[in-house]
Each structure stands twice: as C-alpha cells, then as structure tokens.
Amino acid sequence: MDTKVKNPTPQQHDTENLKYPTPIANTHKKCIRVGIVRLSSFGDVVVSASLLAGFRAALTQLAVKLDSSVRIEWFIDERFSGILADSPAIDVLHALPMRTLKTPKSARTMWQFLRGLGEFDIVLDLQGLIKSALVGKALRGKQFVGFSFLSAREGLASLAYSKRVQIPYDSNILVRNFAIYTRALELCGADWHVLEALDSSLDSRTLESRETAKLEAIFRQEIPAHSKDSGSLAEGFARCVGLRAGGFGVDMKLARALVSTPESLDPVLDPSIDSLDSSVYRVLFVLEASIAQKTYPLQHFAMLATLMQRTCGACEFYLIYHSAKERALELRAMLHASCLHAHLLPPLDFTMLKLLLKRMDCVIGGDTGVTHLAWALGSARVITLLGNAATTSGKNMSQTKLSRVLLGNPIALNQSGSFEIASITPQTIHEIWKTEVLEQESMCDKFYNKHHFNV
C-alpha cells in the first residue's frame, strides 16, 4: 500500500486483507507527522476539518523554521471519507471499515495495521469516543491529545490520552475542536500568531468584519476573558475559521469519471462545464434532516421560493433529498405550479455534492451535514434554520444552546421555544435573505446588472 501520495483518493482498508506497511522513511531532515482521528459523522467531520487548513498553515510556518516538512494523515470511517477526499490539507486519508469490526480477528487485524503505519509525532482525537480513542491509541504517537474525562462525550476515552484538554462538553463545537488543535500546536512549539502574516491565498473566502466579530464573540463567550491569551486566541480562532475552505477539495477527475452521460445531467452537476450562466441566481433547498423537527415544511419552502422570485427575477431552485423522494417530487410540483424554475436533483455522493454546493449562490436548510458543508466550502451564502431554544443547555442536541450549534455561520434563524423549525415563517427567512445576503453581503452590487432585485 502506497502511503506517500499527496491528496490521494481515500485509502480503503479491508480488515481481513490488510497489508502492513513498513514505517515511513522521511525524505526531509525532519518531518512533523500528525495523525488526526475523526471517524464520523457527516456534520461533525465537516466541523473538525473546518479548522484544518489554518492548523496546517500554522504548523507549516514552524516547519519552515526547522527546515522540515508537515505530514497530516486523517483517519475516518469509510462511509464519510468522500467528505475529505482530495483535501489539500491532508496528505493521506485513511478510510477505515469501522462497520466490519465485529469479530476479535477483524479488530486485531485493524490494530496491527494501525501499529504498522510507523511513528507519529502527535495524534489528535477530535471525537472523544472510546472507539476513536482506541484507533488513536493503536497509532504509535509520541503524544496523544484528546478531551478530559468531563469534556469527552465518552469520559473513559480520556484514559487513552497522554495530554488532555479541559473544556465544557456543551461549548461551541468549533471552539472545542480549536482547543485540541491549539494544544497540539503548543506541544509542537507553534501558535496561531503566524496566521496574522498570511494572506487569503489558501483558496479561502476572506472574512468580512461582521463574521470576524461574530466568531470572536462566540469564542469569548466560551473562553473566559481572564484566561491566558484569550484575546489573541479569539483572533486566531476567527482567522483559522476564515481559512476553512482550504480543508476541502473536489476531485474533478473523479467527478468526470462518475458522470457517464453528462448530456442527461443538470448543468450544475456537469463537471465538464467550467462556468455557469452568471445571470441566474441559484438557490438550494435542503429538504431532509436526521430528525423530523429539523425538517422545514414543504409549504413554507414553496412560499419562500415565491417571495425570493419576486425579489430576484432570475431565481432557479434546486431540491436535494436523501431518501424522501416523494416529498421532493411534491415540492417540485408546487414550485412548477407557481411558474418557478425547479430542479430535482438525484441522490449524490460526496464528490458530486461538493461540486453542487460550490455552484450555488445560496443554500437554505435545517441543522444538517449538507448545510454545514456548504458553509465550510465558503462559496454559497448559507441560511441555517434552527429550532432549539437559546436559553437551554445540555448534551442532547435539542437542549444545546443555540449559540453553540451555529458553527461560525452568522446567518441563522431561531424562533421556536421547542426543538422544531416550522415556526420560522417564510417571510422571516426572506427578510433575512434580503438584508443579510443581498444587501449586507453586497450581493446586489455583484448581480445588480444581471438580476432585477426589488429590495
């Protein structure tokens, strides 16, 4: 198995037929080798990887001073490997068949494989589960960083770590991940200050001052002001999140290989098309979520589309679903009945999903992995619909403070006292879209001559 390829297709590992590699021989004088464990799930992987480009940039600055290099390897459940496939911030993506670990033999084979990968300078467990801790423990790391007993989702996982990070479990998930990355930098002798000298050349969207302020406010809310270097850490946190798009990539060669008949596809899914008609404003409606309370009613989506079309005379609406095809067909019929342009997209793998999200102008949906990925890619403006009350706290998502599930997205709506989003009216979303997307984000200036906005 070749473990030296930069940005490979995820390496699929069969636990029954694993070939044990020899320890990696460094071609440089030194190599800072980092192993990151985040096995699942969709949205959580996206959040963890949103800080990866900034982490790599900071570590690379240290490596330059040491005349060395950086090598980052990510360990993920093979079901979610497509999320990080072709990431420019990952050297090797190990797609592990976690669902096949049902026998002592398969578990032993996996352990032996991980042990055979060679030595890591540092291993990070961003998940805090017993299974992720075991994967990290199997790696031969000089340091193993994870959450403390009270901070981890499964406290017993902390027993595997050599360095533990204390942070409340119900803190903002981005801040929790940032704390692990920060501890790793400290152990390597680096910090976030180096990001101050970086420009926005890492294929990322420059942070607007409003978003920067939002991110710094979130960080300061979770980290007390009297904490050491809390101010500079808040700035580093905002810069790191601002580089989030650099943690993700789209393998265009793979996308072309997946498309057998591009002429039958909607143009937004055709990888052979480099640029789309800029006179069209493309809106993606995310129709499904993991639980019903996170799903927005179809009638509300239909009304919202009508309102958006009245404001922008060139809207086209794209509908994405996972399993509830009948709901998607019903909404498409409703939009067609209102003489709106509606496109029903087929179920997509992660490669095609990333391609789609990069080609949207706006994405609207509930608290799902798709909306989080759209936010992380940084191409489309994302309006996230959240239904949980802002005054509650707890480990269950339905009892988690609103500010702690916003990620870094400054455009989020919450009007419900219970965990459901149906109480958010289409008129409210439309008004937010007009003021927060079209006006505040200068979308009118960008599209004014091509769209007929009535704002």
Range with lowest mean pLDDT among 202-206, 338-342, 423-427? 202-206
Q: Edge to edge, what strands does the sheet with 281-286 contain? A: 342-344, 315-320, 281-286, 362-366, 381-385, 412-413
Query: What pLDDT shows up at residue 256?
Result: 81
Q: How confident is the model at residue 431 (pLDDT cuts 50, 70, 90)?
A: very high
Closest residue by Cα to residue 426 from 309, 340, 313: 309
DSSP for 393-430, please give it: -SSSGGGS-GGGSSTT-S-EE---SSS-STTS-HHHHH
pLDDT of 279 > 50? The answer is: yes
Mean pLDDT within 283-293: 88
Query: What pLDDT shows up at residue 395?
Result: 46
347 C-beta neighbours (distance < 10 Å), count: 11
**Alpha-carbon span 309 to 212, nearest angstrom:** 31
Query: What pLDDT shows up at residue 252?
Result: 84
Query: What pLDDT shows up at residue 409?
Result: 67
**Alpha-carbon span 455 to 445, nearest angstrom:** 12
pLDDT of 365 > 80? The answer is: yes
pLDDT of 45 > 70? The answer is: yes
pTM (predicted TM-score): 0.86
pLDDT of 77 > 70? The answer is: yes
Q: How far apart are the first and last CA of the chain?
A: 57
Query: What pLDDT shows up at residue 18?
Result: 52
Tens-place pLDDT, residues 168-196: 887 888 889 999 999 999 999 988 887 76
Query: What pLDDT shows up at residue 151?
Result: 93
- Which H/E stretch holds residue 318? strand 315-320
Q: How confident is the model at residue 453 (pLDDT cuts 50, 70, 90)?
A: very low
Query: What pLDDT shows up at residue 438?
Result: 81
pLDDT of 304 > 50? The answer is: yes
Mean pLDDT within 141-165: 96
Q: How confident is the model at residue 102 (pLDDT cuts 50, 70, 90)?
A: confident
To the nearest whole number, what is the mean pLDDT of the chain? 82
Query: What pLDDT shows up at residue 22?
Result: 44
Distances (CA, A) of 25 to 28, 50, 119, 130, 354: 9, 29, 10, 30, 34
Q: Is 232 left (phi over 0), alpha (psi -120 to 50) or beta?
A: alpha
Tens-place pLDDT, residues 331-358: 999 999 999 999 999 989 999 999 999 9
Q: Judge whether 371 and 382 are in contact, CB under 8 Å.
A: yes
| Tokens coding 43 | 């949205």
Q: How confident is the model at residue 449 (pLDDT cuts 50, 70, 90)?
A: very low
Mean pLDDT within 3-32: 53
**Alpha-carbon span 307 to 426, nearest angstrom:** 8
pLDDT of 451 > 60? The answer is: no
Range with lowest mean pLDDT among 15-24, 51-60, 255-264? 15-24
